[in-house]
Amino acid sequence: MHTLSLSRFSRRSFAAAVGLSALTLANISQAATPAELMAGYTAQSGSPAVVARGQQFFTTRHGREWSCSTCHGAVPTQAGKHASTGKSIQALAPAVNLERFTDSAKTEKWFRRNCNDVLGRECSAAEKADVLAWLLTLKP
Amino acid sequence: MPFALNSPCRLSLFGLLATLVLARAAFADDHHSPRVQLLPKYKNECASCHEAFAPGMLPAESWRRLMNNLPKHFGTDASLDPATLKELTAWLATHAGTGKYAREEPPEDRITRAAWFVRKHREVSSTSWKSPAVKSAANCGACHTGSDQGDFNEHGVRIPR
């Protein structure tokens, strides 16, 4: 009787531990602050981010129809507008929109999509770090 | 007991209920529904760039083609991770259009080129379509004030000037 209840307990606590660690792992891979994400990209690129280069990258076209600012605005402390559908896009600057750059998977997804649209390729870690560094300087 | 099971009163109540149910179904069919509760993930992934179009607005085959081609989605990269892609594709196919919404796979799988869409909008002038407040025929909410709730009733239409 005693061993039975003990084994049931340990099975449960094992399951709980597995569940909790899975949850923790998921959280680690997702939740972040903009500064942490920037630090990650900077570490990946191997050199410090440059604010001015980030602004230049964001506001100029790269051989295609759109720049980042076509949809996000030249100074993304305000809402932008999707270039083809006209749908409103919430401000990108983290100081204005607290949800921005707080989820690593979401950040990666949008860099992948939007860099493909703007440059026809994925962005490098250095480019992402520069853009994020510039965005972090923007105040409401 | 207020009425016996087979009393005329009870039977007419059934009749009334049946009529209401049928009327509701007919109404729903006319308004791009049955109004399916939109999957939160669908809204999340698809409604960042455009409206969360009701799955009933396109036939299943059109949805499948669109979902298989997301990296080149009407000129933009709308790619998804494999698990999300699978989940949303299955959900769209399950709730895809029936009846007149499935009679054709519209050109380029565009909702706005389906025969029912063109017919419903035949009275909208080209000036209205070109208005900066409208910009795109896919911008349902520019005129259909309740579109985010799935409401396309004509009484809710306000064409911007």
- pLDDT tens for B54-101 read 999 999 999 999 999 999 999 999 999 999 999 999 999 999 999 999
Taking 90 as the threshold, does the pLDDT of residue B133 lie above it?
no
**Gap between the Cα atoms of A76 and A92, Å rounded:** 5
Nearest CA among B78, B154, B84, B133 for reference residue A87? B133
Please classify residue A62 by burial: count the beta carbons closer than 10 Å to its beta carbon, then call 0-12 exposed, 13-18 middle and 19+ buried.
middle
What SS3 class is residue A81? strand
Contact assessment for residue A77 and residue A93, using Cβ atoms and an 8 Å cutoff: yes
In this prediction, residue B150 carries a pLDDT of: 82
Contact residues, B window 101-160, toward A, CB-based 8 Å cutoff? 134-136, 138-139, 142
Taking 90 as the threshold, does the pLDDT of residue A138 lie above it?
yes
What type of residue sits at position A28?
A: I
Please classify residue B54 by burial: count the beta carbons closer than 10 Å to its beta carbon, then call 0-12 exposed, 13-18 middle and 19+ buried.
buried
Contact assessment for residue A82 and residue A89, using Cβ atoms and an 8 Å cutoff: yes
Q: Is B74 on the interface with A (CB under 8 A)?
A: yes
What ipTM describes this predicted complex?
A: 0.74
**Gap between the Cα atoms of A48 and A107, Å rounded:** 20
In this prediction, residue B148 carries a pLDDT of: 81
| Residue range B119-139: mean pLDDT, rounded | 91
Q: Is B29 on the interface with A (CB under 8 A)?
A: no
In this prediction, residue B151 carries a pLDDT of: 87
**Gap between the Cα atoms of B15 and B31, Å rounded:** 25
**Gap between the Cα atoms of B27 and B30, Å rounded:** 5
Nearest to A112 among B50, B74, B79 (CB): B79
% of residues, chain B, pLDDT over 70? 79
CA of B70: which chain A residue's CA is closest? A113
How many residues can be counted in chain A?
Answer: 140
Q: Which residues of B touch A114 (CB under 8 A)?
A: 77
Comparing B10 with B86, the larger pLDDT belongs to B86
What SS3 class is residue A53? helix
Please classify residue A114 by burial: count the beta carbons closer than 10 Å to its beta carbon, then call 0-12 exposed, 13-18 middle and 19+ buried.
middle
- For A21, A102, A133, B121, the CA distances from A90, given in Å and listed in that order, are 34, 15, 19, 30
B-interface mutation test, from A112, A116, A119, most B Cβ less than 10 A away = A116
Q: At the top level of CATH, which class does the domain A33-137 belong to?
A: mainly alpha
Comparing A136 with A10, the larger pLDDT belongs to A136
| Residue range A62-77: mean pLDDT, rounded | 97
Decide if A85 and B138 are in contact by the 8 Å CB cutoff.
yes
In this prediction, residue B11 carries a pLDDT of: 53
Q: Spell out the domain ranges in chain A.
A: 1-30, 33-137
Contact assessment for residue B58 and residue B97, using Cβ atoms and an 8 Å cutoff: yes
Give the residue carrying structure tokens 């985010």. B148
- pLDDT tens digits, residue range A15-69? 444 443 443 444 445 789 999 999 999 999 999 999 999 999 999 999 999 999 9
| Residue range B23-52: mean pLDDT, rounded | 73
Q: Is A84 on the interface with B (CB under 8 A)?
A: yes
CB atoms within 10 A of CB B106: 20
pLDDT confidence bin for B16, thresholds 50/70/90: low
Taking 60 as the threshold, does the pLDDT of residue B9 lie above it?
no
In this prediction, residue B132 carries a pLDDT of: 87
Comparing A9 with B99, the larger pLDDT belongs to B99
In this prediction, residue B3 carries a pLDDT of: 47
- Dihedral sign, CA of A29, A30, A35, A39? positive
**Gap between the Cα atoms of A38 and A54, Å rounded:** 12
Comparing B149 with B41, the larger pLDDT belongs to B41
pLDDT confidence bin for B14, thresholds 50/70/90: low
